[in-house]
A and B are shown apart, each in its own frame.
Chain A
Amino acid sequence: MIRSLLFFLFLGALAAYLFKMVLLLDFNKRVYNHRPGSCRQVEGIVHGSEDIALLEDEGIAILTSGVFFISPREKDVKGQMFLYDFAQNGTFKAEPLKINGKYDQENFHPHGITHIVTSTGTVRLFVISHTRAFEHSVMVFRQTRQLDLVKTIRDEKFIRPNDLVAVSEEAFILSNDGSAQTTVTNLIEYMSLIPSGSVVYYDGKLIPRTMSPNGVILDRDREHLIVSHLNDKILSVYKLGENYRSLSRVIDVPLLTAADNFYVDNDGAIWIGAHPVLHEALRHLTDCDDLSKYSPSQVIRIKFSKDFKSWEFTEPFMDDGRLISAASVAVRLKNQLLIGSICRQVVHCDITAETI
């Protein structure tokens, strides 16, 4: 009697778990293509741009390429930094950036990127990098159409870093999207739905345990931290405490799509690269170099009210993966939209006020 009761309880729990996984992995979703204007793939870059830093004043974007993240990549996949000049006329080409300084090129695989303009007017870049053995560091560069390595930071709080945002010339906020370091433990961690990510302040602690934090960025006033939670499909807004040492939650926005990285434009609108069908993204990302696998890409724009209590969604771009696969970031400069993917194409689109 008790045994059959336990059996049915187990069946009920299993059914509830499977239902939750089906909803989480988006098996009942598909995408329908649309674009905000003419689009084309950017030349010169084929191994993705998981994150992009847009330097509005200079009209250029710095792109990370060749990310390595748990799953192995082909030997010819080279970690690189690229520059895209928005002022180019008629061409759509990304140029590789020369890196000056002492670092291990073979083990350079850039991931998230952020930038800040220093008091002397130079641009400082912070870049998350993983080695082929999946060790993590944050590399700090000075940018002058070349990259001069200033220093490499390693810290025990960099558990599985994904994205970061600079808060000063020496400090940043960084997201660890999980804690597993191998394919097997990552799968177990994923299936268990245990919140194993964290958001850290270098140097300090912000959110010790949370579900898959991915993109992090500050609003234009640099008073609020915005975090995407990929598996929960929500975007969280936090008020930053004094000296960036504490957070208080303002709101959770249900996106119902797996948001990746952010960009905040001059109007304060947040641009998000997202994965609308998560099971296809996971399948594609376990074997990035198999070109027969691809995943849908989505760009979402959210405009918040001043107090972050209400918001408005639009979706400027959606693709089934054939133009760009698994987009992770989108940045907008006037009428130009640049969309980066985790490990494949970069796409440039024309965009107008009417098609945002």
Chain B
Amino acid sequence: MLDLNKRVYNHTPGPCRVVTGISDGAAGLELVSEVSIVFISTGLAKAYGNETVRGGLAMFQLEKELAKHEAKPVKIEGEKFDQSKFAPLGISSYYSKGRILLYVVNSHPERQCVEIFTYHKDKNVLFHRKTFVGVEQFSLEVPSAESIYDVVVVGADRFFISNLAYMGRGKLQTVELVMQSSFGALYFFDGRTVSLHESRLSTPSALAIDRQRRLIFVGSLLNENVRVYALEKDYSLTFRTQISLLSSPAGIHIEEETGDIWIALHPVLHQAFLVTLYPSDEKVRSSSQVLREDGISWVITEPYANDGATISASNAVVYDKDHLLIGSMFGRLLHCDVLNPSIT
């Protein structure tokens, strides 16, 4: 469970460099492939007690030949939006008729919710539209989600969210996790109401969708696997299979064209736990790992691994045309070229 006898040994799929402009974490990444933009959650340390960190969103434009590796902060506008209570984690996007909608998990302890933004590419501005899955959205029959981790959008204002544990972040959640309880859950919002879709899951974390094949992927942080569900027409989920990883998945990205699954993981979980206790201490590091599961043969390869010196506690990954982006919980964003995509 805590991976006491594990470590990773550094290797890269090609040349790597740190993306400038990101220093307070890149805990969530989302690629909008239609416009080749990657959105980045920054400032997650705010949710872990560091009030000096500013939670926000940034964007990174992917180009064929990147002369510069720089992410730009995105301004957020909206009357009801409170930036001081914004600690973004998981991101999902919905692209329709040239319009980009961003669904962002806000994991601030005082405001566990999903914030919905509209992105204006020309101005590089996000307009805050709505807040969903606040306390008021839940009925008496459905307990409120206290530990939202990730979100995946399946239609306009329709999305699944993963609730990591019954208890909110803190000592009680730690006790719950140490006892390896299975009180995590998957909720579905259909535009008006929230319903419980899967319960008694062990620490559901990363979510992803394969739109072409209509599959939903749910990572389990402690069980160290990824569950695969078929998404039915009525948005119900049918369990298909389970992929054992023996490493803790934190972020999942699906390569639409090939069906390959890219996973960012915490290979040594006790290190990752220490990092969450000291989110701003650069001396406390955790290993980073990226796995890739081939969409056809299901063979798992490991394109990237690092002991924490370059990137600590990898939490998100995105891959597009030999661009590999790896985001850490509280630190850097890394960009790598993938020299041998077929074998790495």
Contacts and interface: CB of A to CB of B under 8 A. Distances in A.
B344 interface: yes
Nearest to B1: A28
Contact of A33 (B9, B15, B300): B300
A29 interface: yes
B339 interface: yes
Contacts of A35: 340, 343-344
Contacts, number: 72
Contacts of B175: none
A123 interface: no
Interface in B1-28: 3-15
Interface string A33-70: 11111110000000000000000000000000000000
Contact of A355 (B6, B8, B12): B12
A312 B11 CA distance: 11
A33 B3 contact: no
Contact of B10 (A33, A257, A314): A314
Interface centre among B9, B245, B291 (most CB of A within 10 A): B9
A59 B14 CA distance: 27
Given A34-B344, A38-B343, A256-B5, A354 B301 contact: no
B303 A354 contact: no
Given A313-B307, A355-B14, A355-B339, A33 B301 contact: yes
B105 interface: no
Nearest to A25: B5
Contacts of A314: 9-11
A34 B339 contact: no
Interface in B330-344: 339-340, 343-344
Nearest to B304: A34
B135 interface: no
A28 B6 CA distance: 9
B7 A256 contact: yes
Given A28-B246, A29-B5, A314-B9, A34 B301 contact: yes
Interface in B273-315: 291, 299-303, 305, 307
Contacts of A355: 11-14, 339-340
Interface string A305-346: 000000011111010000000000000000000000000000
B212 to A, nearest CB: 25
A237 B344 CA distance: 32
A14 to B, nearest CB: 19
Contact of B302 (A29, A34, A257, A312): A34
A316 B339 contact: no
Interface string A218-234: 00000000000000010
Interface in A76-91: none
A29 B14 contact: no
Given A29-B246, A355-B14, A315 B343 contact: no
Contact of A34 (B3, B11, B15, B246): B11
A73 B84 CA distance: 70
A300 interface: yes
A352 B301 CA distance: 19
Interface centre among B4, B8, B10, B11 (most CB of A within 10 A): B11
A23 B302 contact: no
B15 A354 contact: yes
A30 B7 contact: no
Contacts of A233: 5
Interface string A92-107: 0000000000000000
Nearest to B265: A32
B300 A300 contact: no
Given A30-B246, A37-B340, A313-B307, A354 B12 contact: yes
Given A354-B339, A355-B339, A32 B301 contact: yes
A36 B10 CA distance: 12
A26 interface: yes
A23 to B, nearest CB: 4
B202 to A, nearest CB: 16
A316 B11 contact: yes
Contacts of A29: 5-6, 246
Given A32-B291, A315-B10, 15 more contacts: A23-B4, A23-B5, A32-B300, A32-B302, A33-B300, A34-B11, A35-B344, A233-B5, A257-B9, A313-B10, A315-B11, A318-B302, A352-B339, A354-B12, A355-B340
24 contacts: A23-B5, A28-B3, A28-B6, A28-B246, A30-B245, A33-B299, A33-B301, A34-B303, A35-B340, A35-B343, A36-B11, A38-B340, A256-B6, A257-B9, A300-B9, A314-B9, A315-B8, A315-B11, A315-B305, A318-B302, A352-B339, A354-B12, A354-B15, A355-B340
Interface of A: 23-24, 26, 28-30, 32-39, 233, 254, 256-257, 298, 300, 312-316, 318, 352, 354-356
Interface of B: 3-15, 244-246, 291, 299-303, 305, 307, 339-340, 343-344
What are the 5 closest A-B residue pairs judged by CB atoms, nearest first? Answer: A315-B9, A32-B302, A23-B5, A30-B246, A33-B301
